[in-house]
């Protein structure tokens, strides 16, 4: 379980960086959301949901109660972001929506990196 969560967080960070860069690229080129970008967002969502399940299963490993609570807060918050920004981007057809997808993906990356940081302290 230990290695699985670490590996998953690396994958999620990689996908979020990809989505962030792609969304910035779309914003610069003034392109709207399309199936390809939506697929990357869906992949990111899948990643954070799997991470949520795996994280909850491996929760017992984190000894400190405060750190454990922070870990859960991040785990639960993460899946909201890709869905929320993708829905906004579908509704709002402008380059600003691509900018917001980039910001959302960046937030997912930062939060997942924090998750990994907490996890590695106890793994």
Partner 1 sequence: MPDSSVRDRRALGGPGVLLVVVYGVLALAATGRSVLQISEYFERAPLAYVLSAVAAVVYLLATWCLARGGRWVRVGIVACAVELVGVLAVGAASYALPSAFPDKTVWSHFGQGYGFVPLVLPVLGLLWFRRVERAAAAEETAARGAGVGDGAAPSGG
Least distance (Å) between residue 107 CB and partner 1: 5
Q: Does 18 bind partner 1 (CB under 8 A)?
A: no
Q: Are 116 and 9 in contact (CB under 8 A)?
A: yes
Q: What does the alpha-carbon distance between residue 53 and residue 5 come to, in Å, rounded to a whole number? A: 10
- Cα separations in angstroms, 40 against 4, 12, 94, 98: 21, 11, 19, 13
Q: Does 73 bind partner 1 (CB under 8 A)?
A: yes
CB nearer to partner 1: pick between 94 and 117: 94
User: Which residues form the interface with partner 1 (CB under 8 A)?
Assistant: 65-66, 69-70, 72-74, 76-77, 80-81, 84-85, 88, 92, 94, 96-97, 99-101, 103-104, 107
């Amino acid at each position: 379980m230990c290695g699985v969560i670490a590996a998953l967080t690396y994958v999620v960070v990689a996908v979020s960086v990809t989505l962030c860069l792609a969304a910035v690229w779309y914003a610069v080129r003034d392109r709207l959301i399309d199936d390809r970008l939506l697929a990357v967002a869906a992949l990111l969502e899948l990643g954070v949901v799997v991470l949520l399940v795996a994280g909850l299963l491996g929760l017992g490993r984190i000894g400190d109660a405060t750190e454990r609570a922070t870990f859960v807060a991040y785990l639960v918050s993460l899946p909201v972001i890709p869905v929320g920004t993708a829905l906004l981007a579908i509704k709002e057809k402008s380059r600003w929506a691509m900018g917001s997808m980039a910001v959302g993906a960046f937030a997912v990356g930062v939060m997942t990196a924090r998750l990994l940081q907490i996890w590695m302290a106890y793994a």
